[in-house]
Chains A and B, each alone.
Chain A
């Protein structure tokens, strides 16, 4: 039995983040992945980032994770979403070359001390304080185990009427993880996730479609990379739409859809609906966007984003060919849905440790999230915390007030999921403060606690020093209201200068782009610093106002509560008692977030604080 400090089961996005950071922190790491499954594969949309998710990628990057780096190395199209809607809601999204992504992931992991073991896990059990992971004849043991098995837990694949056991098409389900896992509480609802068919690139008529070129102004994810460097050749994506014909074929095939005929019992995410979901939920709409995304530079398949389906094969062929530009399209891989069990995350603590089995952690889609970015975020948190626990140090918990990762982890452990969890900017209460451009400001305090001294840490130190300096400068520097400066203002189109104005006040002017303005006025600072200071200044007033209003709530939210005492009081309804017993909230804000909790109960709890 080979002994490790930590064993990670599952080589997906969560797994590699956990493995990498644990290695960085000096632990002896084993990463177990099934044969035939590439590391960090992108089985669904070959894209990283997006609204809310781009922010997570950058947060993972700032903590020292891999996703940003790998994405930059593998990206073939860059876009900035919500570009015209203000800096707070901007998100970066890249299309990646599927093969290159996994290749790069393998390369980077190979460059570390992580031992990658390609075997199927047959049994996991705990003896004394050690976990034993059996792989057929061999075995491993460690005091910390992180499970990142994704959709493989009791996975069943559906393509129309055909079903097979698997976590993904062509890949076996991991039935072996049953023993320890018999004692793991899974969520009462099975989840499902679906994916669209893959089309043969050669059979698509691109001349009929609207191109979306890669944006050269979109900034790379990894902070140590040159902002605008493009490692790979850039290609455009294309836009087309479904039409009446498409939708009527889908509607005609309702009985043959596993989602609607009851074959699949799992619940899919509402916001990532299959084309069947869209067809039946919005009967009046017949035109849905379909984004034609290349899966790689040298890969023959196209990923049509927006028509995820589990209809039978012939139905898939029929409706695809009604779409503009896809009339002659050939299907190389049919669309399918996977139904799987997920961990009941209310049994996890904020470090993603399973409360009843110390030393065991869960991260990624196995917790009921959907999305590579959400998985990576959990992976790095579980990895950091398992390592800190191993080193007998205190836990690292990110706050929901300053990070999307914090929002996600707290949401996961505070409520039972009844559908797959995906991050949106809407989940964060203060979007103005949690932005892409100020990731280093928000995350640096956490990275510091790891006590490492890599290139990333040095960058962050320099960044913070420059930030403080530039911030002060903006407050101190005054444009005097004299003729010469007025003329300058006119030339630069900064607006009027009737009174003296500080640089900070200038940046707040609503007609100006704060970043461009600040860039004009200072020299010698890192561009990311200039960018972050400028945008922060612009939003300063609004953020302060929101903070003031929220102070009462935030103060109240942080107060600790004694859930046992509350549950024993006679004044709470049985329903609320049950929910509180399930979740075991530790603070008032956790209680607030409990689904279905009555305002009166909250008032009662608040009154008792």
Chain B
């Protein structure tokens, strides 16, 4: 992605262009003064005072396009340092498009690239790189946690930690210089002590930052629960059961693709993406095989993995397909049928049975659009299943689902408590830094050559500079901004 620094005015709809809403916000930014824009409005824009909302009409060639509320932000006191005119317009997409086209066709401005307004904030020094990344997290997060962290990064809190890292690094470097340039003044002993202490401070901080980069970040931005299992194991029924009363209408998780069906599942204010994958089985059909592989990949990356097994129709030969996965829960279906317990236990004893933490058995009753499903599954059916690996309790399916949801939520909070760092670039650089620091430790322990040691230390310095955004590669910027939508 190439960001043109052409300095031309840009326009975008900040509230998105996919659906009709009551109000939409259009931004025009980077114009030199309001003169060029005035002809398109019913009142003289030059009378607009900055930061004041005014009711106006957009007009062209005598025709009224829309009645809007306009706010003028005068650079450099604006979001990105440039002049910005914000227009609250009626959120009908036809209207939005017409207004945008009006300004573009009359050569007032061009359509902005995704994230270009923020890019200009970066280049105009209104935001630093870390803050932009925080904004990225903020816009794209699906959990309270991620949003909070985005906010923290936007406000520069993470940056403070990195500055501390730089401070420790400088101390470390200084103590090494002490040994080289000032040995005669300080003495061998105290120089060595100084170095060991400085290294310890630095190493501790980078290690703790590194711990916060472990784990799959996707899981915190978009926490996913996948259901995996053989065809006809009962995945889809279970899928529907989970969603009962908990379907999230707010998230954009609902979707059906060739490979899976997804919906938003809300647990205690956190939106999880619940995915029902394609049935796993050994097949010669090429297309089916690819579908299975794709959903398998999906499953691997999910933060919570549930295996749904029908003990009566399970082919143990298919287990090898799942051997690399570790499941959080295994759900055995058809627990109401006779002989289920024996079949289930047989499966559990099979050494090839996939690794898992917990299992539950239940009965899901008939699937299908006609049956009414409420409370305990099916009229009069008996649901039984252990709540843990050994127990054998019976009860309505409700509490079982509740326990499962609690499990999901507590695993999620545990992950959050580790306070993981979500910004992709930071994770990458921190990981590199951590590895280099460990390598550096090996070098210092085994060598006496201060020239080599100082050279290795300088390698670390480059990474720290990158972390603080002093030197950042161009493609990084491009990848950040591609996550933005047009208008921000």
A interface residue numbers (CB < 8 A to B): 51-52, 81-82, 84-89, 271, 288-289, 424-426, 429-432, 435, 510, 539, 542-543, 545-546, 549-550, 552-553, 556, 570-572, 599-604, 606-607
* Residues in A whose Cβ lies below 8 Å from that of B454: 88-89, 431-432
Contact A607 B123 (CB under 8 A): yes
Q: Could you pull out 14 A-B pairs where Cβ atoms are within 8 angstroms? A: A82-B180, A84-B448, A87-B451, A89-B454, A431-B451, A432-B452, A556-B471, A570-B76, A571-B76, A600-B128, A603-B469, A603-B470, A604-B123, A606-B471
Asked whether, in the complex, the Cβ of A429 is within 8 Å of the Cβ of B458, the reply is yes
Does B446 interact with chain A (Cβ within 8 Å)?
yes
B345 part of interface (Cβ distance < 8 Å): no
Asked if A52 contacts B181 (CB within 8 A), the reply is: yes
Complex Cα distance, B183 from A338, in Å, reads 27
Give chain B residues whose Cβ lies under 8 Å from the Cβ of A546. 455, 458-459
The minimal Cβ–Cβ distance linking A280 to chain B, given in whole angstroms, is 16
Query: Could you tell me the dominant secondary structure of chain A's interface residues?
Result: helix
Q: In the bound complex, how far is the Cα of B190 from the Cα of A289, in angstroms?
A: 14
A571→B451 contact, CB < 8 A: no
Whether the pair A86, B177 counts as a contact (CB closer than 8 A) is: no
Chain A residues with CB under 8 A of B472? 603
Knowing A542-B452, A570-B76 are in contact, say whether A603-B129 is a contact too (CB < 8 A). Answer: yes
Chain B residues 165 to 185 lying within 8 A of chain A, measured CB to CB, are 177, 179-185
Chain B, 440-459, contact with A by CB distance < 8 Å: what is the 0/1 string?
00000011111110111011
**Which residues of chain B are within 8 angstroms of A601 by Cβ–Cβ distance?**
125
- What's the Cα separation between A429 and B124 when bound, in Å? 31
Q: Are the CB atoms of B448 and A85 closer together than 8 Å? A: yes
Given A51-B180, A85-B449, A426-B180, check contact A549 B459 (CB 8 Å): yes
- CB <8 Å contact, A542 and B456: yes
Chain A, Cβ-Cβ closest to B173 = A426
Q: Is the CB of A85 within 8 A of B123?
A: no
- Name B456's closest neighbour in chain A (CB-CB): A542
CA distance A420 to B218 in the complex (A): 54
Looking at A81, A82, A550, the one whose CB has the most chain B CB atoms below 10 A away is A82
Give the number of A-B contacts (CB < 8 Å). 107
The answer to whether B185 and A553 touch across the interface, beta carbons within 8 angstroms, is no
Q: Is the CB of A599 within 8 A of B184?
A: no
Give B452's nearest chain A residue, CB to CB: A542
Q: How far is the CA of A604 from the CA of B122 in the complex (A)?
A: 9
Closest to A88 in B: B451
Q: Contact check, B177 vs A426: say whether CB atoms are below 8 A apart.
A: yes
Q: Mark B74-94, 1 if CB is under 8 A from A, else 0.
A: 001000010000000000000
Are the CB atoms of B446 and A88 closer together than 8 Å?
Answer: no
In angstroms, Cα B450 to Cα A435, docked, is 13
For A542, the chain B residues whose CB sits under 8 A away are 452, 455-456
| Min distance, Cβ A156 to any Cβ of chain B, angstroms | 28
Cα–Cα, bound, A88→B447 (Å): 13
19 further A-B pairs in the complex, CB-CB below 8 A; given A86-B451, A288-B185, A549-B458: A82-B183, A85-B449, A85-B451, A86-B449, A86-B452, A289-B185, A425-B181, A426-B181, A432-B454, A435-B451, A542-B452, A545-B455, A550-B458, A553-B462, A570-B76, A571-B81, A599-B470, A603-B128, A606-B471
- Complex interface: chain A residues within 8 A of B450 (CB): 82, 85-86, 88-89
Alpha-carbon distance between A81 and B446 when the two chains are bound, in angstroms: 22
> Given the complex, which residues of A lie within 8 Å of B129, measured CB to CB?
603
B452, B470, B471, most chain A CB atoms within 10 A: B452
Query: Which residues on the A side are within 8 Å of B451 (C-beta)?
Result: 85-89, 431-432, 435, 539
Among the listed A431, A510, A545, which residue makes an inter-chain contact with B459, where contact means beta carbons less than 8 Å apart? A545
| CB <8 Å contact, A553 and B471 | yes
Name which of B123, B181, B183 has the most chain A CB atoms within 10 A of its CB.
Answer: B181
Chain B residue nearest in CB terms to A541: B452
Confirm or deny: B205 has a beta carbon within 8 angstroms of a beta carbon on chain A: no
Q: Nearest chain-B residue to A431 (Cβ)?
A: B451
Query: How far is A601 from B128 in the complex, measured between Cα atoms in Å?
Result: 11
Whether the pair A600, B185 counts as a contact (CB closer than 8 A) is: no
Is B59 located at the chain interface by the 8 A CB criterion?
Answer: no
- Residues of B at the A interface (CB closer than 8 Å) are 76, 81, 123-125, 128-129, 177, 179-185, 446-452, 454-456, 458-459, 462, 468-473
B468–A599 touching, CB < 8 Å: yes
Chain A residues near B468 (CB-CB < 8 A): 599
Complex interface: chain B residues within 8 A of A425 (CB): 177, 180-181
The residue that B125 contacts in the complex, of A86, A431, A556, A604, with Cβ under 8 A, is: A604
Q: In whole Å, how far is B444's beta carbon from the nearest beta carbon of chain A?
A: 12
Contact at A549–B180, with CB atoms within 8 Å? no
Q: Tell me whether A550 and B462 are in contact (CB under 8 A).
A: yes
Contact B448 A600, beta carbon cutoff 8 Å: no
Q: Which residues of A lie under 8 Å from residue B473 when comparing CB positions?
A: 552
Please give, as numbers and ranges, the residues of chain A lying within 8 Å of B185 by CB-CB distance: 288-289
Docked complex Cα distance between A594 and B184 (Å):
31
CB distance from A420 to the nearest CB of B (A): 15
Verify A85–B446 contact, CB threshold 8 A.
no
B448 in complex: contacting residue of A86, A543, A549, CB < 8 Å: A86
Which residue from A288, A424, A430, A539 sits with its C-beta under 8 Å from B177?
A: A424
Is the CB–CB distance between B452 and A271 below 8 Å? no
In the complex, A81→B185 CA distance in Å? 13
Contact A432 B125 (CB under 8 A): no
- The residues of A that contact B184 with a CB separation of less than 8 Å are 81, 289
Q: In the bound complex, what is the Cα–Cα distance between A543 and B454 (angstroms)? A: 11
- What residues of A have a CB within 8 angstroms of the CB of B456 in the complex? 542
Interchain nearest-CB distance for B144 vs A (Å): 31
| Residue of B81, B128, B184, B472 contacting most chain A CB atoms (<10 Å) | B184
B441 to chain A, nearest CB (A): 16
**CB nearest neighbor in A for B463:** A549
Assuming the contacts A424-B181, A545-B459, asked whether A571 and B452 have C-beta atoms less than 8 A apart, the reply is no
CB distance from B378 to the nearest CB of A (A): 64
**Chain B's nearest CB lies how many Å from the CB of A242?**
12
Give Cα A87–Cα B451 distance, bound, in whole angstroms. 7
Q: Roughly how many angstroms separate A424 CA and B183 CA in the complex, as a whole number?
A: 12
The closest CB in chain A to the CB of B462 belongs to A549
A606 CA / B472 CA spacing, docked (Å): 10
B392 vs chain A, min Cβ distance (A): 62
B455 & A602 in contact (Cβ 8 Å cutoff):
no
A-B CB proximity, top 3 nearest? A88-B451, A86-B449, A426-B177
The answer to whether B181 and A51 have CB atoms under 8 Å apart is yes
A45 CB to nearest chain B CB (Å): 13
Contact partner of A85 among B124, B179, B471, CB < 8 A? B179
In the complex, residue of chain B having the shortest beta-carbon distance to the beta carbon of A606: B471
Report the separation of the CA atoms of residues A545 and B458 in the bound assembly, to the nearest whole angstrom. Answer: 11
Which chain A residues lie closer than 8 Å to B449 at the CB level? 85-88
Is there contact, CB below 8 Å, between B124 and A571?
A: yes
Q: Chain B residues with Cβ under 8 A from A430's Cβ?
A: 455, 458
> How long is the Cα–Cα vector from A89 to B452 in the complex, in angstroms?
10
- Distance of A424 Cα from B177 Cα, bound (Å): 9
Residues of the B chain whose Cβ atoms lie less than 8 Å from the Cβ of A432: 451-452, 454-455
Cα A244 to Cα B256 in complex, Å, equals: 83
For B477, give the chain A residue with the smallest CB separation: A607
Q: Find B180's partner among A89, A572, A599, A607 (CB 8 Å cutoff).
A: A89
Smallest CB–CB gap between B454 and chain A, Å? 6
Q: For A89, what are the chain B residues with a Cβ–Cβ distance below 8 Å?
A: 180, 450-451, 454
Kindly list chain B residues whose C-beta atoms are within 8 Å of the C-beta of A288: 185
- CB A422 to nearest CB in B, in angstroms, measures 10
A571–B181 Cα distance when bound, in Å, is 40
| Assembled-state Cα–Cα distance A56/B179 (Å) | 20
B177 CB contacts on chain A under 8 angstroms: 424-426
Contacts of B183 in A (CB 8 A): 81-82, 85
In contact, B452 and A88 (Cβ under 8 angstroms): yes
Task: Chain A residues near B455: list those with CB within 8 A.
Answer: 88, 430-432, 542-543, 545-546
In the assembly, what is the distance between CA of A105 and CA of B458, in Å? Answer: 41
**A365 → B minimal CB distance (Å):** 20
Residues in B neighbouring A556, C-beta threshold 8 A = 471
- Residues in chain A near residue B447, CB distance under 8 A: 86, 510
Q: How far is the CA of A602 from the CA of B472 in the complex (A)?
A: 11
Complex CA–CA separation, A556 to B471 (angstroms)? 9
